[in-house]
A = this chain, B = another copy of it.
Amino acid sequence: MTGEAEAAETAADSGRRKRSGGRAGMKSRGASAIEQMPWRIPLNPDRPTEPLDADGVQRIHRGAMKILSEIGIEFLNPEALEIMRRAGCLINGTNVRMDEAFVMEMLGHAPSQFTITPRNPEREIVIGGKHMVFVNVSSPPNSWDLERGKRSGDFASFQEFIKLTQYFNCIHVAGGYPVEPIDIHASVRHLDCLQEKLVVTDKVVHAYSLGAERVEDVMEMVRIAGGLSHSEFDEKPRMYTNINSVSPLKHDHPMLDGAMRLARRGQPVVITPFTLAGAMAPVTMAGAVALSLAEALAAVALLQYINPGCPVAIGTFTSNVDMKSGAPAFGTPEYMRATQMTGQLVRFYGLPMRSSGVCAANVPDGQSMWETSNSLWAAVQSGTNMVYHAAGWLEGGLIASPEKFVMDCEVLQMIQRYFEEATFATTEEDIALDAIREVGPNGHYFGCAHTQARYQTAFYQPFASDWRNYEAWALDGSTWTAERAHRIYKQILAEFEPPEMDHNAREELARFVARRKQEGGAPTDF
CA distance A267 to B87 in the complex (A): 71
Q: Which of B26, B280, B451 contacts A444 (CB 8 A)?
A: B280
Q: How many residues of A contact B (CB 8 A)?
A: 170
B-side contacts of A3, CB under 8 Å: 138-139, 176, 208, 242-244
B-side contacts of A29, CB under 8 Å: 324
CA distance A239 to B344 in the complex (A): 42
- Let me know if A63 is at the binding interface, CB within 8 A: yes
Within 8 A of B (CB), among A411-439: 411, 414-415, 417-418, 420, 423-427, 429-433, 435-437, 439
B-side contacts of A285, CB under 8 Å: 423-424, 430
- Let me know if A323 is at the binding interface, CB within 8 A: yes
B-side contacts of A12, CB under 8 Å: 326-328, 396, 398
B-side contacts of A278, CB under 8 Å: 445-446, 451, 455, 458-459
Chain B nearest CB: distance from A53 CB in Å?
9
> In the complex the two chains form, is A374's CB within 8 Å of B414's CB?
yes
Of all chain B residues, which has the CB nearest A371?
B465
Stretch of A43-51, A160-168, A501-509 lying at the B interface? A43-51
Q: For the A-B complex with A366-B482, A367-B369 known, give 18 more contacts whose Cβ atoms are closer than 8 Å.
A: A7-B246, A8-B274, A18-B325, A19-B325, A26-B324, A51-B424, A60-B431, A63-B433, A70-B437, A144-B470, A284-B432, A285-B423, A285-B430, A329-B467, A334-B423, A367-B410, A370-B414, A371-B465
- Let me know if A454 is at the binding interface, CB within 8 A: yes
> In the complex the two chains form, is B397's CB within 8 Å of A283's CB?
no
B-side contacts of A371, CB under 8 Å: 465
> In the complex the two chains form, is A49's CB within 8 Å of B49's CB?
yes
- Let me know if A256 is at the binding interface, CB within 8 A: no
B-side contacts of A470, CB under 8 Å: 142, 144, 150, 362, 395, 398-399
Known contacts A51-B46, A279-B445, A327-B12; is-contact A4 B397 (Cβ 8 Å) = yes
Known contacts A326-B18, A426-B60, A458-B278; is-contact A441 B249 (Cβ 8 Å) = yes
25 contacts between A and B (CB under 8 A): A1-B180, A2-B177, A4-B317, A11-B280, A11-B326, A15-B321, A15-B325, A47-B50, A59-B431, A70-B433, A71-B436, A144-B470, A249-B441, A283-B450, A287-B430, A323-B459, A327-B467, A362-B470, A365-B480, A366-B407, A366-B481, A366-B485, A370-B410, A374-B414, A377-B377
